[in-house]
Amino acid sequence: MDNMETPKGAPQSPAEETGRPAANDTRDAQLSAIPVAGIGASAGGLEVFKRLLAELPVDTGMAVVFVQHLEPSHQSMLAQILSRATSMPVNEAADGMRVEANQVYVIPANVDLTIVGGTLRLAARTQTPGLHMPIDGFLRSLALDCGNRAIAVILSGAGSDGSTGVQAVKAAGGLTFAQDEASAKFPMMPQAAVATGCVDFVLPPDRIAAELARISRHPYIAQNPPTPIESKPGGDDAQFTKILSILREASGIDFSLYREKMVRRRILRRLALRSISDLAEYGVRLAQDPAELIALQKDLLISVTSFFRDPDSLEALKTAVFPQLLADRRPDDTVRVWVAGCASGEEAYTIAILLREYFHETGVAFPVQIFASDINTDAIGKARAGKYPANIASDLTQTRLDTWFTKAESGYRINKDLREMCVFTRHNLLDDPPFSKLDLISCRNVLIYLGGVQKDVLPLFHYALKPSGFLLLGASEAAASGDLFTVADSEHRIFVKHDKTLKTHIFPGGIRGLRRATSRGNQPAVSAADTWKGTDLRKEVDRILLSKYSPAGVVVDQDLEVLEIRGQANPYLSLPAGKVSFNLIKLIRDTGLFLEIEKLIQEAQATGEPVRRQHLLFEQQGTAGELTVEAVPLESEHKRSTLLLFEPLAEPALQADRPAGEDSGSQSRDVQITRLKQQLAEAKERFLSALEAHQSTREEIQSTTEEALSANEELQSLNEEMETAKEELQSTNEELITVNDELQAKNAALAQARDFAVSIVETVRQPLLVLDTEFRIRMANQAFYRTFHLSPLEAEGRPLYLLSGGSWDLPVIRQSLDSLLRSGRPFTDLEVEQEFPRAGRRSLVVGGCCIKHLQMLLLAMDDVTERKLVQLALHNSEEHLRQSQKMEAVGRLAGGIAHDFNNLLTTIIGYSDLLEGALQGQATLVQQVGEIKAAGQRAASLTQQLLSFSRRQVLQPKVLDLNLIVKDFDRMLRRLVGEQIQVQIRCEPSLWHVRVDSGEIGRAVMNLTLNARDAMPDGGTLTLETANVTLTEAEAGKAFLKAGRYVTLAVRDTGIGFDSDVRAHIFEPFFTTKATGKGTGLGLATVLGIVEQSGGVIDCESEPGVRTSFTIYLPAVDMAASSGSVLVQSLNSAPRGTETVLLAEDEDMLRVLARRILESVGYVVFEASNGREGLEFCRNHEGQIDLLVTDVVMPELGGRELAEGALILRPNLKVLFISGHTQDVVLKAGVQKGAAFLQKPFTPAVLAQKVRETLDSTANTSGE
């Protein structure tokens, strides 16, 4: 039981591990009213937890708190993510939020989460010397708050966070789970938890959920407090006793002496884990299942503690106790400490660290011996090893961690000098004798687990301590007995031994012997009160009977020394005068009686049987008497002993047989003479025997002396021979020392040379390999391990061709190494490009040489991967620059001709449209006018394409759903591509919105679909597909985009495809793979210009003869789609109006055309041939002007300046810009802001519709 200690932050297991019994019920009432499952995870744990939540029923009655390692600088989206996996409410934890059943709570970023009184508490994230351990922190608080209703679950993650928390929950009586290694993406955290020995279930996530659902309905979890295993007539008490008996037989530990409530609750916990309903069934399980028996024993012997637990008490030791212990102490006087109940050793090492720190601070030094004991052999094994997980850093300062610990695999190890100060041993406080002559005993949180036998342990501690020694108890344990100890520090439970106790305390050996006897007999333990009363009554009866009726007795050893006297022996024994001796010959005054008794003792020891003599004469104060003496041999471990019993006769036989009338004085003298003669004869016989024995002894001594002299001569001779051998050995030793010195010098030189060589190799930045003649790796430098992400254990001794999964097994390397081994000629500049499992694809330049005298090969590698990537990026940049320069040149050309061409084309198309309407009924003329109009439209399209691929057109973007554009194409594509091509449309149902110019995007899609049609002359499948995608940083970087949300529009065909050479030029202007006259080479360049000007990119993939796919990426926006307007097809159907319009246009033909169009649909139109004339008209005209329609590029004063001046004069004036020019950057910015704009060329119907839209608009159409 010595090991039942609790971790820092959870002093005892709530509801059962608190100190005084009176506090238990109160603590039970303070526990959380509902069970709480604390689930911790790190890397790879989120997906696992989502699976667990999906399998977990929503009515378990427990609250679930998820603690995930989060990046402190990023806002957590855990609650939103997890809410999709369960129908239970998912809440982000907030300070003061009370947990409720059937709800999920998640930790926010950059905080520490705890639970107190069923309420979640948040605190700023602590900065500890080691790693941040939020899971340990929460689980410790959960153990303290919920006790047996706490559940800990450790899922996938790196590190050891959660292992300490699992121990705390197990110590509190809660249940613990860990994810199995097979299903965990990162199994380190679950493995660390399992290594503590405190995990009840190791399962995959779905089975963890099933077990949580099952256990949630068990009384141990579902009821608060859990239903105790109460006594039932003829039932549970007997079963409980049977279980304790099974435990006692298996472990030798009598758990009936421990606190019954604690033992019963631990057994109930095992019933919950094993789905067992009653004690009888569990008793059968224990008898048949050794593994369950061991598990129950471990549950009852909880080994949980921590470094520097209760630091205030430890500081009191350092400031108050250590100075008194070390005052006036001799330098060689060892400080002796006993840590009772040391568990896995943290307490013992803590005291060792404190002593060493105190020695350093005060400048003193004493030898220290710390005895640390525990009943749990597994815990003792861990303590001796001194290895602890990485999360102990949360209990230690960085200075202590650096000073007293060494970093080891997966944690830390106590330094060797501290381990040597501590002696760990298995020890049972209730049965084994204590250590002795101790200066300090630390026994914290051990006595609280014991029942009524606590009173036996404190006298044991008193016995073990030196005078004025100190005792340190736990905060929850009762004060030490007042007659044994004095309070030194009541707050920190420190006591000092009384120099003189108020009453005698018997060492409790007899009680322990009684316990062992009871255990061997498999009998139920008798209560302490009954044992005391029965034993005391029997002793009292025995004392009265012996005092009245037993004879006088003396116990002597084989040397006749008196060991004990019983009864009234003073008639036969008396103390002599002078120096006191307890030899029997000195105590029996009557020499004759002594001689008789001596013969009796010798006979009894020789035969081993009792010997009795009657009517032995003795004299007492001048009066003769008779007695019977019996010698009884006694068995003893060390010396043979004899019990002498003296029984006086009531009346001497001689006096009874004397004849009547005979003189009593004469008779007395005769008796005296007879007795003296008898004694004289016996003395003579004794003297002769002694003389013969002396002579025999003398002869034996003479013989022994002669043998000793002979042996001495032999020893002298042997000594001389040894002296000679010693001189020879000394000479040989001197020679060996000389040879050894030479070897050491050579070894030092070799070590120095090797270190020098290694230092050179390690400073080389290029990876180096040393191989033997079988191509096995002898060594490698750190650059090699860094480059290929390997360790020396993975590489050294292995064949090169098996390294990294066979990545080095390349024909060119085999050929080069074979040639190097045969010829010895080095090779250089061997270029290799290969994929390595951990390092990725690498480009290497390898060189090798042969070290002949060592029979080794040296390989040097230059990693040129980054250099090649830089060269490739530079090449791509140059290509991109070349393409940009080409586009810029074409753009300048397009921009230069666009204005004049568009003015002319607007006039041609406009008059053709008007003439077409006027010639209705004259089919031949209408057809001819239609041809003129079509030619103008084709010319306008060519101009527009030039502007598009050169990014010179003015876009009018709107928020829209691309699915609408695709569906519009669906209606005309089937007619456009013909019956041989199957058209498939796949639209994402909930497509995100984009902000683009619908007309330009439509133009791009049309170009792509026409190219796809032309690529399938024999038919095939044309697919248009939209989708939502979210690009990561890595994915976006490859496409030259920013990470985020995008809408994709893909156009795929199963046509002839093209190769990589064509792919490199596919977007260049005037590049085409079609036959002469079949294409202009502007189609894909136009698409690229439209997409890039819309903020997107286009990607192309193709396989010759198989397929081609173009994918457009456009940024998604969180805005509602704009409502579109329906384009009118003819002027007759165009909307009309009566407002006043000022038309400013420097091209006379175009101005006249526009005026005729607007007047034909009802508007009042005033003209201005340039901007200055228009501004003057605005200033002088007294009537209303509702709309300004102005060209952008005009002599003297441009359209933008005209609009600015007109708006100053007439603030309510609306403006519509028209232009075929694209160089006005300010205009582009204005259009982006919403300015009304109409691109030349336009049709009469489009102009009329745009004017109506502008007049009806409520926005500021000037774009300011």
| Residues tagged active-site | 42, 69, 161
Buried b / exposed e along 507-524 (16+ C-beta atoms within 10 A):
ebeebbeebeebbeeeee
Please check whether residue 133 is in contact with residue 392, taking contact to mean a CB–CB distance below 8 angstroms: no
H runs (alpha helix) in 289-376: 290-300, 311-316, 322-326, 346-362
C-alpha triplet 102, 107, 108: angle, nearest 5°: 130
Please check whether residue 270 is in contact with residue 283, taking contact to mean a CB–CB distance below 8 angstroms: no
User: How far apart, in Å, are the Cα atoms of 356 and each of 240, 415, 1142?
Assistant: 48, 12, 99
User: How far apart, in Å, are the Cα atoms of 326 and each of 356, 368, 774, 988?
Assistant: 13, 11, 66, 82
C-alpha triplet 1164, 1170, 1172: angle, nearest 5°: 100
Place of tokens 């089919």: 923
C-alpha triplet 408, 411, 414: angle, nearest 5°: 65
- Length of the chain as a residue count: 1264
CB count in 10 Å sphere of residue 876: 11
Rounded (10°) CA dihedral 207, 139, 200, 286: -130
Query: In terms of C-beta distances under 8 Å and separation of at least 24 residues, what long-range contacts does 404-412 make, across chains too?
Result: 404/349, 404/353, 404/356, 410/160, 410/188, 410/192, 411/160, 411/387, 412/387, 412/388
User: If DSSP codes are grouped into helix, strand and coil, which group holds residue 671?
Assistant: helix
Please check whether residue 953 is in contact with residue 1038, taking contact to mean a CB–CB distance below 8 angstroms: no
User: How far apart, in Å, are the Cα atoms of 13 and each of 28, 119, 141, 146, 150?
Assistant: 11, 19, 11, 9, 11
User: If DSSP codes are grouped into helix, strand and coil, which group holds residue 839?
Assistant: coil
Q: Round to whole Å and give the CA distance between 307 and 393.
A: 9
All residues at 6 or more sequence positions from 599 whose CB lies less than 8 Å from its CB, including other chains: none
Pairing of strands 1107-1117, 1097-1103: antiparallel
Q: Round to whole Å and give the CA distance between 882 and 886.
A: 6
Nearest to 282 by CA among 300, 266, 259, 260: 266
Tokens encoding 159? 């590190």
Strand partners, 832: 844
CB count in 10 Å sphere of residue 1246: 21
Dump strand ranges (E) for 509-638: 552-557, 562-566, 611-620, 623-634
> What DSSP element (H or E) covers 195?
helix 188-195
Dihedral sign, CA of 52, 58, 63, 68? positive
Please check whether residue 601 is in contact with residue 587, taking contact to mean a CB–CB distance below 8 angstroms: no
Nearest to 1051 by CA among 1112, 1103, 1003: 1112
DSSP 3-state helix, strand, coil percentages of the chain (rounded to 5)?
A: 45, 20, 30
Q: Round to whole Å and give the CA distance between 274 and 288.
A: 14
Nearest to 199 by CA among 181, 174, 178, 215: 178
Please check whether residue 15 is in contact with residue 31, taking contact to mean a CB–CB distance below 8 angstroms: yes
